[in-house]
Structure 1
Amino acid sequence: MTTTATALHDVPGPKARARHRRYGMAATVVLLGLVGWIVYLLADTGQFEAEKWRPFAYQGIQELLLEGLGNTLKAFGLAAVLSLALGAVLACGRLSEHRPLRWLATLFVEFFRAMPVLVMIFFVFVALKVQPLPALVTGLTLYNGSVLAEVFRTGVGSVERGQREAAYSLGLRKTQVMAYVLVPQGVRAMLPAVISQLVVALKDTSLGFLITYEEFLQAGKLIATDLDYDLPFIPVVLVISPIYIGMCMLLSWFANWVARRERRSVKTRAAEVAQPGPTDALSGPGGRA
């Protein structure tokens, strides 16, 4: 155990480790019992009967679900790209030295960040009479772009002040300082928050079913409310929920992979810079130039 690690907390002794193992085992037993109780209730109400799951064997139902999943990913892809772009523009406005531009960007961010997503979607869909997909993407973009603007601004602001001052002392302009110094370093700080917000955008695509957009949840709703299939509501939830969870976990895994890769590349570059070359070794203490 290193000195840094021991300075932050006391190293647990044998009794503490044994106590932690007991707590872990007890929590595991409770979770397994809860899962078993839920499975029992589902089985007791006949949710695992073949008749309930029969609709998923039909090709038409499978195509409906795949089409809904594709529409969900389409809406998310458009909203994610536009939100990132809008967030970058608003963050530049918030960081601008021109006061009117900074105030305008601040007003935009605070207004749409406080506005409920569903209200914006309904307003665009009903008041402006826009088609479901553009209405959904517009609402998601305005909200998530405003939130990401604050994430970007905070990430850039988290870079040490000395980095900015050193860049200005080298004669770099503000745009060059932002592009080559502040943003690359701030990305590592803001990446977890950016991915978390994109996960929120992915889940909020399910609001599209309220404006008749044929996304994944809408497809499940059509199946669950079809009287010909004996209302297989729980089986539809058991099919749709793991897919939503899997997509969010995949997005989080991708964020962690990018973060690890970025940290590894930074350490590699630092090692290459710190490693002395043959000339440095000869000109060091005790060596000959």
Structure 2
Amino acid sequence: MQQLFTTNNLIFLWEGLKTTLYISTVAILLSLVFGTILGVLRNNGPKPLKWLATTYIEIVRNIPNLLWIYVVFILFKLNSYPAGIVSFTIFTSAAVGEILRGGLNAVAKGQDEAARSQGMNGFQALIYVVLPQALRSMLPAIVSQFTTVIKDTSLLYSVIAIQDLTGKAQILMGRYYASEQVFVLYAFLAVIYFIVNYLLSLFSKWLSRSWVHAR
């Protein structure tokens, strides 16, 4: 049996991991921005914008992300990397928007009223009082969604041939096809995905504690 974990193979997988983290990070940051806008509009926006945000969220999050990858890549004729980022942003923004709506609804109405009584307008009360409390309560759900983004990047190789971590591993499997080698490679992938997502979970717990102490 040929040696699986050579220096060249580990570098090859590392390049795939960097691609996974790059696409995931950009998509997560964009989704956090657009998802926040969607959630706020759906919860507090003017009626036409509220209807548009609601329609977008309900349509997008009830269609599998795999289909959005196909749609973005084929319909909009984007290159692989932009197509991956855009498709994940489209899907994850809808999920974050729905999570945020639930978080905003969980904040007591009196918080907004108290902020306004201190001279804040509606926008200031939302940004400085209501939204931080909503984010605090929905942080576990957001992190769960973001770990899904990281794991779902494994779809990109089979759809648009992006050589992410899973894609690189599948290429190696074409060279090392013994069943025990395939098993070891899949186990190695599982460990890497676990470590990345576990670190993200630890970060969210640290952030949550920091928010509590800052209150």
TM-score relative to the length of structure 1: 0.70
1:55 aligns with 2:4: yes
Alignment check: 8 A CA contact 1:225 1:233 kept: no
1:220 aligns with 2:169: yes
Detail structure 1 runs of 4+ shifted over 3 Å in the superposition.
none
Alpha-carbon distance in 2 for matches of 1:131, 1:226? 27
Offset, 1:127: 2.6
Pick from 48, 52, 60 the counterpart of residue 104 of structure 1.
Answer: 52
Alpha-carbon distance in 2 for matches of 1:93, 1:212? 36
Pick from 203, 212, 225 the counterpart of residue 151 of structure 2.
Answer: 203
Alpha-carbon distance in 2 for matches of 1:170, 1:254? 34
- Residue 194 of structure 1 is matched in structure 2 by 142
What secondary structure sits across from 1:55 in the alignment? coil
Alpha-carbon distance in 2 for matches of 1:120, 1:97? 26
- Residue 94 of structure 1 is matched in structure 2 by 42
Offset, 1:118: 0.2
- Residue 3 of structure 1 is matched in structure 2 by none
Offset, 1:174: 0.6
Alignment check: 8 A CA contact 2:43 2:104 kept: no
- Residue 82 of structure 1 is matched in structure 2 by 30
- Residue 16 of structure 2 is matched in structure 1 by 68
Offset, 1:60: 2.4
Alpha-carbon distance in 2 for matches of 1:97, 1:119? 29
Offset, 1:222: 0.6
What secondary structure sits across from 1:95 in the alignment? helix
Pick from 248, 251, 256 the counterpart of residue 200 of structure 2.
Answer: 251
**Matched residue type, 1:264:** H
Offset, 1:140: 1.0
1:264 aligns with 2:213: yes
What secondary structure sits across from 1:81 in the alignment? helix
Which blocks of at least 5 consecutive residues in structure 1 are unaligned? 1-50, 267-289
Task: Please tell me whether Structure 1 or Structure 2 has the larger radius of gyration of its CA atoms.
Answer: 1
Alpha-carbon distance in 2 for matches of 1:194, 1:245? 17
What secondary structure sits across from 2:44 in the alignment? coil
TM-score relative to the length of structure 2: 0.93
Offset, 1:56: 1.3
What secondary structure sits across from 2:5 in the alignment? helix
Pick from 122, 129, 152 the counterpart of residue 181 of structure 1.
Answer: 129
What secondary structure sits across from 2:78 in the alignment? coil
Alpha-carbon distance in 1 for matches of 2:43, 2:79? 35
Offset, 1:115: 1.2
Which blocks of at least 5 consecutive residues in structure 2 are unaligned? none
Offset, 1:80: 0.6
Q: Are residues 255 and 63 of structure 1, via their aligned partners in 2, closer, same or farther at CA, if it must alter by over 3 Å?
A: same
1:117 aligns with 2:65: yes
Deviation per CA, 1:75-123: give whole Å up to 9, x if none.
1111111110110111122133411111011111111111110000011
Q: Percent identity?
A: 32
1:135 aligns with 2:135: no
Alpha-carbon distance in 2 for matches of 1:170, 1:245? 46
Structure possessing the higher relative contact order (Cα contacts under 8 Å, 6 or more residues apart) = 2
Alignment check: 8 A CA contact 2:157 2:167 kept: yes
